Amino acid sequence: MSDAATATLPLWLEILVAALVLAGAAIALLGALGQLRLKSFFERMHAPAIIATLGCWCIMHATIIYLWATHGPALHMLLIALFVAITVPVTSIFLMRAALFRARRVGQNVPPSLSRVPPAQE
């Protein structure tokens, strides 16, 4: 624990950090609720995207503001948000392709593949 002189924030800054953290947590809860409520997998795919974008950026800004006000300039939180912004679309594309592949194999009504060779050449 640091000394008490650096750990106290002015009230308006504290309200700002609290609002950002609560907004991020509420957005995360909304994304998880969408995970539970939506019907099919392809609708459910969209729900966690708001956690990775808006929720993550809200909480990251809250941590940057808090760190900046108590411990001096600190930007290494940006690493986490940038990393999430890069990696989550990759995971989503992989998972979507896997789900489409499995849905085609069990014969569900999904769009056909665009990159498959025609059956005559196989």
Partner 1 sequence: MNGPVLSWALPLAMLLLAAAMLICLARLLRGPHAQDRILALDCMYLNAMLLMLVLGIYHDASTYYFEAALLIALLGFVGSTAMAKFLLRGEVIE
Q: By CB under 8 A, name the binding residues for partner 1.
A: 1-2, 7-9, 11, 14-15, 17-18, 21-22, 24-26, 28-29, 31-33, 35-36, 41, 44-45, 47-48, 51-52, 55-56, 59-60, 62-63, 66-67, 70-71, 76-77, 79-80, 83-84, 87-88, 90-91, 94-95, 97-99, 101-102
Angle at 119 between CA 116 and CA 99, to 5 degrees: 40
State in angstroms the smallest separation of the CB of 36 from partner 1.
Answer: 5
**Collapsed DSSP state (helix, strand, coil) of residue 120:** helix
Q: Among residues 36 and 120, whose Cβ is nearest to partner 1?
A: 36
Residue type, 24: G
Q: Among residues 17 and 116, whose Cβ is nearest to partner 1?
A: 17
Place of tokens 């990251």: 60
Length of the chain: 122
Q: Give the torsion sign (CA, 78, 79, 83, 84).
A: negative
